[in-house]
Every structure is written in C-alpha cells, then in structure tokens.
Amino acid sequence: MNLLLDSINELFAPATAAFALAAIGLNFHFGLTGLLNMGHAGFMLLGMYGYAISTSRGAPIWLALVIAIVVAALFGLLLGWPTLKLRGDYLAIATISAAELVRYLGRSNTLQSLTGGSTGIRGNDFKFTFEELSPLPDENITFLFWTRHGSLSSSWWLVIVAWVAVALFALLYWQLARSPWGRVLKGIREDEDAVRALGKNVYSYKMQALVLGGVIGALGGVLWALGGSVQPDSMGRPTTFWIWTLLLLGGAATVLGPIVGSMIFWMSLVLIKGLASAFIPSSVLSPVEIEPFSLVLVGITLMCLVIFRPQGILGNKRELAFND
Amino acid sequence: MTDAFASVPHEPGAPKPDPIVTAKNVHRHFGGLTAVDVEHFEVQRHQITALIGPNGAGKSTFFNLLTGFDKPQTGEWMFNGHSLVGTSPAKIARAGKVRTFQLTKALNRMTVLENMRLGAAQQSGENFFRALVPGTWKKQESEITDKAEVLLKRFKLWEKRDDYAGSLSGGQRKLLEMARALMSDPEMIMLDEPMAGVNPALTESLLDHIVELKDEGKTILFVEHDMHMVRRISDWVVVMAEGKIIAEGPPQTVMSNPAVQDAYLGAHHDTDLSEDAS
C-alpha cells in the first residue's frame, strides 16, 4: 500500500514535471522538426546555472529566469550556427559534445567561484527567491495521503508551479504544432530539400526550433534545480538519454506524450525499486545494488516497448514511429 | 504551337525570342570530372522544353544548378531578367521557379492536404509569433485550403486528402508533388523525370496535366528519359551529352540529328532510342 502511494506520489512530483517540461522541449526538436539533439541535459544545466548563479548574486527571480532563458538561447544559436546547414547527424555529434563541455566547464576548478565546481551550488543559495513567493504556509501539509512541505524545496508550491508550467508549454506545443509554422517544421522533419524547393528558409526554421526547444529544456532544468540543488553531474549524458527514452515512451510528436512518458518513467522506477527491495532477499541483491538493477529493468521494459510499440504510448504510428 | 520557335535556329545554345531563363558559361566540375559545361542556354516562355540526354550527361546536375540546389564554379544565369547567381533554393522558389524531384519528395508522414497547404507562399502563420495567435492566419488558412481543394480535385487526389502522403502510390506522389508546387502560383515549373516510377495507367493523365499547365500560361522545363513523353508534349528539345548542349530543335526532328545519335548510340546500344532513330 505504501509502495502504491509512493509511486502515485511520483506521478506528480516536481522532478516528474521538470523532466516532462524538458521532454516538451525535446519534442520541439525531434518530434516536430526531426532534429537529433543529443545534448538536452546541456541546455538544462545551463538553465540551472543561469538561474542559480544570478540569484545567488542578488538578481530578482524574473531576472534570473530571463538570464536562464538567454543563456540557453545563446547556446542554441552557437550550436545551430555551424551544424544546422549540415546533415542531422552532425547536430547530434555537436550537441552531445557541447553538453559534456558545459558539464566539464561547470565542474572544473577554474570556475569554482562561479559554479561551485563538482559539488555544484547548494539549494539554499538560490532557492529563497522562489520560496519567498509561496502563498502556502511554512509547514508540512498533508493532502489526502501525501505529505510535503508547503514552500521549501520539493514543496507543494513547487508542485503547483511546475505543473502549471508544464501545462502552459504543452498548450504552446499544441498551438504551434497545428499552426502553419509547425507545418513547416514537420515538412523539414520529412524532407528539408522538398521544403526548400517550396520557398521556405529551412535554416531559419531549424534554428527557431532548436532555440525554442533548448529554452524550454533550460526551464525544465530550473524546475529540477528548485527541487534540490545544482549538481553538474546530475546533468550528464544519462539525463539526456532518459529524456529521450521518456519522450519516445510517451510518444514523440504528440502533445501529451512527454508528460505521460515522464510520469510512467518515474513511477516505474520507484515501483521497480520498491518491489525489488520487498521481494528480493538482500543476500541475492544488496540494497546498494537495487538502484542500478531497477534502471536495468526500466531499460529492458523500454527496449520491449520500442520493439513492440515503436510509436510510444500515445503516438500515431503513421506519423512518427521510432524505427522506420 | 511551334510558331514561338519559328525563327529559332536548330543549333545548340540557340537564342529564343522571349527567354524566361538564360544561362551563360555555366561550369560545374567535381574534382577532375566536368559534370556541366554549358555555354549558352535559353528557355522560351510559355512553352514546354524537354532536356534529354544519355545517362551521365549532366542533366540533373544542370537542373540542380538552375534551381540553386548546387553551385557552379563559374557562370551566370538569369530568371526573368534577374541574376540568380548565389541565390538560395528557397529564394529561387519564391521568385516563381519551382521544381520537383526525380526521387519524389512527398512529405510522407503528413497528410495530402497538409502537403498542399505547405506549398502555399507567403503564409503569415509561418511566422513564429503570428503562429501563436490563430486569428492572424485562420482566414488565409481557409483560402489556402480552398485553393488546395481545387488543385486536388483537378489532380484526382481529393478523396485522398486525409491520407498520409506515404500511403500513396508512386504515380500519385508525383501528382501530389506537382500539385503542391502549383500552390505557390509559380511562373515556371521544373520537373525532374516526372515519369520515373509512374504506373502506365497514370502516365496519360500526368501528360495531360503538364499540357494543361502550359495552357494556363506557365513555362515548363523537364528532364526525361521517356522519349514517348518527350515527343508527345514538348515544344522544344535540348539534348545534353557529357555536360554540354549538343543539339536543340523541335521534337520531330532533333532525334535525327547525327550528333544526338552519336551521343546515344555511342554510349548505349540498347536504349529504346535506338528504335526511335531507326
């Protein structure tokens, strides 16, 4: 029973919302435009740094958000400028290395005064502006079966704000995907040269999609950081691949795919972890091994999904499937 | 309809009375291999011009150069009196010269109707900020849809409007690509092997559609291997071999030109052209 409540708790946890938001950004890249961004965690980390560093230097919350957005937008422009004229694979190579570059720079000793090196930035240094805005009481609140603090860290306040943000950006995706603008992006996903031959400036559209998706990724990063701290190593390659997995799990090129994918991903992680620790004796699998084991199981589940339902849970196989 | 060419000499690079496209000294080589070396080339307005030649003659490369999809080392070419040197494919399309592809580029995972809508030019909703406010593009969208409906009915694709383009047959995709190109009201349409992979049952209607375009006042330039089609619909034939234009003339006589026979028979003993020439 506790396990069930824990997994349901995971459905609406701030981390789930943060990943859902990042996946909405990736959906602009991959689902709509067909861009292979393999460095989404880099956008998220830049957003986190932009927000946390400016707040800890005394910036008000709106300015910190603007800085996070601008930093991610510049990163997108910088990455897209040389690579978007080339074939898709080059963007994948450039983004995966650029994201690692951001992480290594962040954890390097030279930038320690700014980024806090490999330990990152403590939550208390940058979360206060957001927490001060909370209208909720400054204490633990129990809603139905779940207890969270009203306004600190992974709070009800953050739950509300995070899901409102996810809803707004899902609406944005919905509106843009059915507009003529989104139609050009879908055309580019199918065949750039055909779209060029119809008189559209493909490079400019790809750049717009890359920057927009990257900025949304950065905001997802900010949500993630508001629930904990800025940790460069939490935004490595695995994070990028998780976001890809949950996007494909939910269904790329759909409005709700990233959200459903994120919910199922996080819930199954907790569920598998809980079941494994309840039913597998510690002589077979020690508690420290359960975490990697559950990730392995999630991986296997996802492989099965990709084999048997390549369009994801909500996807339209005729529009965008994983293996065609 | 041959009167437009009455005064045109039957020789390579012949000047036309009213050229819509003019190309001079266009030279494109890949490493040491010369793909295109065209001294002078003109396309007469409101007519159907065929560009033929044996495999490897440089037709498709020349086509790509004229539409901005490839850049030559030297040369200049004009469309409607404006130089197109260094112009991007998108700008060339916006100037009114639209092309199709040899390997059909139907946008497979979009519906037929969405393919058509994408073809329309100057859509305000294609701007990111205006896309956010449907009021700014809804009216234009319904105009575009009406236009697409007319074209789709004409090309007998209206029943397929909600199907994904990927589910169409090869010939239907060719039709869709042509119809989509017409959405922007181009002055000139360039068709790269419009008959390649088309089921014979559709060939006739495809040919009729091309002739109809001419009757509407559009200029057509096409690359083709199918000599039947070339003879049936073209007003003027330009023959390329080894990157150069070797002959020009009306379809009835150009194939008997000795230079053309040499180019084809020298390289290919068994094309259907050998039968034509006999």
How much is the pLDDT for A1? 74
A115, two tokens: 């980024």
Q: In terms of Cα–Cα distance, which of B206, B211, B237 is closest to B104?
A: B206
| Mutate which: B107, B123, B130, B144, vs A, most A CBs within 10 A | B107
User: Are residue B137 and residue B49 in the same domain, yes or no?
Assistant: no
Per-residue pLDDT of chain A (324 residues; tens, 9 = 90+): 788 888 888 899 999 999 999 999 999 999 999 999 999 999 999 999 999 999 999 999 999 999 999 999 999 999 999 999 888 889 999 999 999 999 999 999 888 888 988 899 999 899 999 999 999 888 888 888 888 888 888 899 999 999 999 999 999 999 999 999 999 999 999 999 999 999 999 999 999 999 999 999 999 999 999 998 999 999 998 899 899 989 988 988 899 999 999 999 899 888 888 888 888 888 888 878 888 887 787 778 778 877 888 888 888 777 765 444
Q: In terms of Cα–Cα distance, which of B127, B183, B122 is closest to B155?
A: B183
Residue type, B140: Q
In whole angstroms, how large is the CA radius of gyration of chain B?
19
User: Are residue B102 and residue B205 in the same domain, yes or no?
Assistant: yes
Distance of alpha carbon B247 from alpha carbon B258, whole angstroms: 9
Tens-place pLDDT, residues B175-199: 999 999 999 999 999 999 888 878 8
Residue with the two structure tokens 């379809």: B251
How much is the pLDDT for B225? 81
CB-nearest partner of A197 from B98, B114, B130: B98
Q: Is the dihedral of CA B247, B251, B255, B258 positive or negative?
A: negative
User: Are residue B62 and residue B137 in the same domain, yes or no?
Assistant: no
CA B165 to chain A, closest CA, distance in angstroms equals 10
User: Are residue B126 and residue B207 in the same domain, yes or no?
Assistant: no
CB distance B118–A190 less than 8 Å? Answer: no
Contact of A156 with A147, CB cutoff 8 Å: no
A220, two tokens: 């997802």
Distance of alpha carbon A201 from alpha carbon A236, whole angstroms: 33
Give a yes or no: residue B263 inside a domain.
yes
How much is the pLDDT for A323? 43
How much is the pLDDT for B8? 86
What Cα–Cα distance (Å) separates residue B138 from each residue in A173, A184, A185, B183? 18, 16, 18, 17
Quick one: pLDDT band at residue B272, thresholds 50, 70, 90?
A: low
User: Are residue B100 and residue B23 in the same domain, yes or no?
Assistant: yes
Give a yes or no: residue B235 inside a domain.
yes
Give a yes or no: residue A296 inside a domain.
no
Give a yes or no: residue B160 inside a domain.
yes
**Does position B25 have pLDDT exceeding 60, yes or no?**
yes
Contact of B107 with A190, CB cutoff 8 Å: yes
Q: Domain end: B121, B137, B167, which one? A: B167
How much is the pLDDT for B278? 43
Give a yes or no: residue A48 inside a domain.
yes
Q: In terms of Cα–Cα distance, which of B267, B274, B278 is closest to B55?
A: B267
User: Are residue B92 and residue B200 in the same domain, yes or no?
Assistant: yes
Contact of A252 with A35, CB cutoff 8 Å: no
Instruction: Tell me the residue range of the domain where B210 lies.
Output: 2-106+186-277
User: Are residue B119 and residue B86 in the same domain, yes or no?
Assistant: no
Q: Report ipTM for this prediction.
A: 0.87
How much is the pLDDT for B273? 54
Instruction: Tell me the residue range of the domain where A231 lies.
Output: 16-235
CB-nearest partner of A179 from B118, B137, B181: B137
- Give every strand in the sheet of B33-44, ordered side by side: B33-44, B19-30, B74-79, B82-83
Contact of B209 with B46, CB cutoff 8 Å: no
CA A190 to chain B, closest CA, distance in angstroms equals 5
**Does position B269 have pLDDT exceeding 80, yes or no?**
no
CB distance A199–B108 less than 8 Å? Answer: no
How much is the pLDDT for A28? 97
CA B76 to chain A, closest CA, distance in angstroms equals 20
CB-nearest partner of A180 from B89, B106, B131: B131
Give a yes or no: residue A1 inside a domain.
no
Give a yes or no: residue A291 inside a domain.
no
User: Are residue B200 and residue B146 in the same domain, yes or no?
Assistant: no
Tens-place pLDDT, residues B96-140: 999 999 888 889 899 999 999 999 999 999 999 999 999 999 999
How much is the pLDDT for B277? 46
User: Are residue B101 and residue B18 in the same domain, yes or no?
Assistant: yes
Distance of alpha carbon B161 from alpha carbon B10, whole angstroms: 45
Strand intervals (E) in chain B:
19-30, 33-44, 48-52, 74-79, 82-83, 97-99, 188-192, 219-223, 236-241, 244-249
CB-nearest partner of B107 from A187, A196, A320: A187
Q: A89-106: buried (b, 16+ CB within 10 Å) or exposed (e) per residue?
A: eebbebbbebbbebbeeb
Q: Per the structure, how many domains does chain B have?
A: 2
Residues of B with CB under 8 A from a CB of A: 67, 69, 88-91, 93-94, 98-101, 105-110, 114, 117-119, 121, 123-128, 130-132, 134, 137, 141, 164, 166-167, 177, 180-181, 183-184
User: Are residue B133 and residue B83 in the same domain, yes or no?
Assistant: no
How much is the pLDDT for B270? 53
pTM: 0.90
Q: In terms of Cα–Cα distance, which of B161, B195, B166, B152 is closest to B107?
A: B166
CA A198 to chain B, closest CA, distance in angstroms equals 6
Residues of B in contact with A168 (CB under 8 A): none
What Cα–Cα distance (Å) separates residue A153 from each residue in A123, A126, A127, A216, B54? 8, 11, 8, 21, 72
CATH number at residue B265: 3.40.50.300
Scanning every residue of chain B, which has its alpha carbon at the shortest distance from the alpha carbon of A317?
A: B109
Residues of B in contact with A181 (CB under 8 A): 125-128, 130-131
Residues of B in contact with A198 (CB under 8 A): 93, 98, 118-119, 180-181, 183-184
User: Are residue B85 and residue B208 in the same domain, yes or no?
Assistant: yes
In 3-state terms, what secondary structure has residue B28? strand
How much is the pLDDT for A320? 64
Quick one: pLDDT band at residue B1, thresholds 50, 70, 90?
A: very low
Contact of A240 with A122, CB cutoff 8 Å: no
In 3-state terms, what secondary structure has residue A177? helix
Residue type, B118: L
Q: Per the structure, how many domains does chain A have?
A: 1
For A179, residues 6+ apart whose C-beta sits below 8 A from its C-beta are B125, B131, B132, B134, B137
